[in-house]
Structure 1
Amino acid sequence: MQHPVQVVVVGGGYSGVTAANRLTGHPDVEVTIVNPRAVFVERIRLHQLVAGSDDAVVEFSRVLAPSVRLLVDAVERIDAPGRRLLLASGETLVYDRLVYAVGSGRGIADVPGAGAHAYPIADLQQAERLRTALAETGPTAPVTVVGGGPAGIEVAAELAEQGCAVTLVCAGRLGPSLHPRARRSVARRLRALGVTVEDAPGSRVTAVRRREVDLADGRTLPSAITVWATGFGVPDLARASGLSTDALGRLLTDETLTSIDDDRIVAAGDSAAPSGVPLRMSCQAAGPLGGHAADTVLRRVDGREPAPFVMGFVGLCLSLGRQRGIFQFEHADDSATRVHIGGRAGALVKAVVCWGTVESLVLEARHPGATRLPAVFGDRGRRRMLATSGAAAADRAVAGGLRTPGTHGGAGRA
């Protein structure tokens, strides 16, 4: 009798849960998901947790298929030749196939004092710590939010709506990924909420102290709480395990999401770098990446060749407090169009998106394969680029030293 194929998914975020659920559609596959927390974290709601309008968690029993085994633990090393995982508990977990979906975290830049005094907000523990600090400091204390991207804008608006005195430090243009029309709309809403926006060229933070921040133009801003909402990093697990990564630490894969080192390992979500050209870190990309990683595994289990990944972006949505929001329509290549939905309608769209991300996991748990993205929505520009250059993107990544340990960098979110 043939034994079931043991597939382990490392990481229980949007991408990992999607992959685990999709894998249950095969009768000869047994799935284990390893995650350090016993609950699913709605990362796109963490700014709401900080402000007290949502707890940002869902029970895994709701979003995971019943046949998926949940192991609450952390992976410390991948032994790829031995096909096993070394866990923080001291246990060893053997696999036949591995889905690497460890996600990302907020990367603290090399700014003096940031590591000691700033509050990152990229995971549940960080958000809870920030919420406690805000409660202890009081609503009138000055709050500085560092980062003019989606995360910074959402945190600043949410806290300002709760009555906090907020300064948003952008180190340049507010909402750089937004179309100018949408950017003006966001700026108007932030002004209405009383947020002071520092977006001049000299607004880069150069130092963080316990109750103030220094800017590149020589000014010092009072800051009882400094929220760090800029730059992303990924866990160092792949690189520490001897697998090829890009400079940020994302696993280097081909377009089927298969590791360039080991065809029994596929990557998904924020921790994947297909052809050395990763997608924007976002829940919008996480689901399709997780589903395709599972499809690649299942095709190989059946002895078939996996297909290239297909993905096209639709939009970028931001909440601007509980009563307003914005949905920026995008081209498939993730570039902004002139069209956006703002105001209360934008808030409604954002709420539907947040609801839909969880419901898509529930749907995939009940009906594996139900959330596949039609190929017509794919980014044709990416396919043309890779088709004309062949493996040039991956070759450039390797030539640039990305197979070896490198420096940490940052990215964006939606």
Structure 2
Amino acid sequence: MNGTTEVLVIGGGYAGVMAANRLTRRNGVGVTLINPRTTFVHRIRLHQLVAGTDDAVVEYRDVLAGGVRLMVDSVARIDAAGRSVTLTSGGSVGYDYLVYAVGSGSADPRVPGVAEFAHTIATLEEARELRSVIDAAAVTAAVTVVGGGPTGIETAAELAERGRRVTLVCGGVLNPYLHARGRRSVAGRLAGLGVTVVDGPGSEVTGVTRDAVRLADGRELPSEVTVWAVGFGVPDLAARSGLSTDTAGRLLTDETLTSVDDVRIVAAGDSAAPSGLPLRMSCQAAMPLGARAADTLLSRIAGESPAPLNQVFGAQCISLGRGAGIFQFADRFDTAVWFKIDGWVGSKLKELVCKGVVKHLADEARTPGGYKLHLMARGGARQELVRAAGRAEAPAGAEAPAGADQAA
């Protein structure tokens, strides 16, 4: 392969772009990024796209290093033995090392009627379609958002702030990640926006029709537009390619993010399951994982031993329309604590995070190796978690939680 070490990155989201940019720090490494779109999708703004307050895209020239080759295509299969991938458009691309960063999308809906009558919001195309449906609906149309996690909350708040009549169905507790104080704050803001929150026992959705949402306790909520924001699923590319995955389809890796099947493949972002204990699906996890995956490959190329994952979480931030938000702090094990910042200041913090994500990627494109957040000392909590679970490395077939709702 023309004397250089060729690295192929599958997926141009937060993890893939971070990994691709960081890999350019070493001379003699050629980096190709395969992505199905010509623009970067800023996923944590998709709820704004639905409401018409942002387009949720960034040009790749603004976040991708000039030395990275962008190939607009998708991968149909990975041939690990042959070190190549088959493209959906035909042909194949070889590699010396591969970064598996295919991200996530909408979870497979198993509730009757969801596929036919509800609208998902996990991808750019889904959000754009929902935007057109919302625009075509009467202002008085009943909009039901199903899903009490960050995506559902943010979508409900954004639409309500734009004058829509919104019901948020939680299927249990309103964002169980939040501390009780944070949950009360979010509930108060939603009430102030006119959102009807349906939570507690019996609030699970059992069926969706063209004009209603049915709940487990027998209630039927009128709904002219139903938004399905219940969790995320990952593509089945790894499984289709014969690689070991967890039960949700994430690629199983060790704590250096190296595939348990092939030392030349690393994973990052929502599609990775290090030690069978995947991190919370979020851009907050994806970018550090992308940096760690790149560091692992650069160490291997240099003949050095890669360092283990040192991931740390500190908070979850949620926008509540353009005028408010919440920054929920957490401990080093990613458990919410009593401290929060909400209201107008919370919205400003969330906006800083959204802008900061793009800035981190752009900075890494200009100065590869400059990103340091995956090296924070508090990350020792990750090793404690792995030891407590008795998993020094990922066993094939290890179970992991189903895809959780995303947040910044």
- CA drift of 1:158 comes to 0.2
- What are structure 1's unaligned runs of at least 5 residues? 403-407
Aligned to 2:365: 365
Deviations 1:165-221 (A, max 9, x none): 100000111111000001000000000000000002101110011111111010111
Q: Structure 1 residues 77, 205: closer, same or farther in 2, change over 3 A?
A: same
Q: What is the 5 A alignment of 1:189-208? A: 189-208=189-208
Aligned to 1:413: 406
Please tell me the residue identity of whatever aligns with 1:412.
D
The answer to whether the 8 A contact 2:313-2:331 is kept is yes
Deviations 1:333-356 (A, max 9, x none): 111011000110000000000000
Q: What value does the CA root-mean-square deviation take over the aligned residues?
A: 1.6
DSSP 3-state at the match of 1:285? helix
Aligned to 1:231: 231
Distance 1:399 1:299 in 2: 27
- CA drift of 1:398 comes to 3.1
Aligned to 1:107: 107
Deviations 1:58-95 (A, max 9, x none): 00011000010000001010011111110011021111
Q: Structure 1 residues 214, 393: closer, same or farther in 2, change over 3 A?
A: farther
Distance 2:388 2:176 in 1: 29
The answer to whether the 8 A contact 1:108-1:228 is kept is no
Aligned to 1:398: 397
Aligned to 2:128: 128
TM-score (norm 1): 0.96
Aligned to 1:242: 242
Distance 1:123 1:130 in 2: 11
Deviations 1:5-58 (A, max 9, x none): 000000000000000000000001000000000000000000000100100000
DSSP 3-state at the match of 2:309? coil
The answer to whether the 8 A contact 1:277-1:393 is kept is no
Distance 1:399 1:111 in 2: 26
Please tell me the residue identity of whatever aligns with 1:379.
G
Aligned to 2:320: 320
Q: Structure 1 residues 295, 374: closer, same or farther in 2, change over 3 A?
A: closer
Distance 1:146 1:176 in 2: 15
Q: Structure 1 residues 374, 295: closer, same or farther in 2, change over 3 A?
A: closer
Please tell me the residue identity of whatever aligns with 1:341.
I
DSSP 3-state at the match of 2:397? helix
Q: What is the 5 A alignment of 1:278-317? A: 278-317=278-317
Aligned to 2:161: 161
Distance 2:129 2:376 in 1: 43
Distance 1:80 1:158 in 2: 44
Distance 2:398 2:152 in 1: 34
- CA drift of 1:409 comes to 3.6
Aligned to 1:384: 384
The answer to whether the 8 A contact 2:312-2:381 is kept is no
Query: In the alignment, is residue 263 of structure 1 matched against residue 256 of structure 2?
Result: no
DSSP 3-state at the match of 2:266? strand
Deviations 1:384-407 (A, max 9, x none): 232466536633x6366x9xxxxx
The answer to whether the 8 A contact 2:256-2:306 is kept is yes
Q: Structure 1 residues 246, 2: closer, same or farther in 2, change over 3 A?
A: same
Query: In the alignment, is residue 211 of structure 1 matched against residue 211 of structure 2?
Result: yes
Query: In the alignment, is residue 356 of structure 1 matched against residue 349 of structure 2?
Result: no
Please tell me the residue identity of whatever aligns with 2:28.
D
Distance 2:19 2:68 in 1: 11
Aligned to 2:3: 3
What's the % identity of the aligned pairs?
A: 59
Distance 1:390 1:77 in 2: 32
The answer to whether the 8 A contact 2:11-2:101 is kept is yes
DSSP 3-state at the match of 1:155? helix
Distance 1:370 1:34 in 2: 23
Distance 2:251 2:123 in 1: 21
Aligned to 2:21: 21
Distance 1:266 1:399 in 2: 17
The answer to whether the 8 A contact 1:333-1:379 is kept is no
The answer to whether the 8 A contact 1:172-1:199 is kept is yes
DSSP 3-state at the match of 2:188? helix
The answer to whether the 8 A contact 1:64-1:362 is kept is yes
Distance 2:85 2:60 in 1: 22
DSSP 3-state at the match of 2:136? helix
TM-score (norm 2): 0.97
Please tell me the residue identity of whatever aligns with 2:190.
L
Aligned length: 407
Distance 1:231 1:399 in 2: 20
The answer to whether the 8 A contact 2:292-2:374 is kept is no
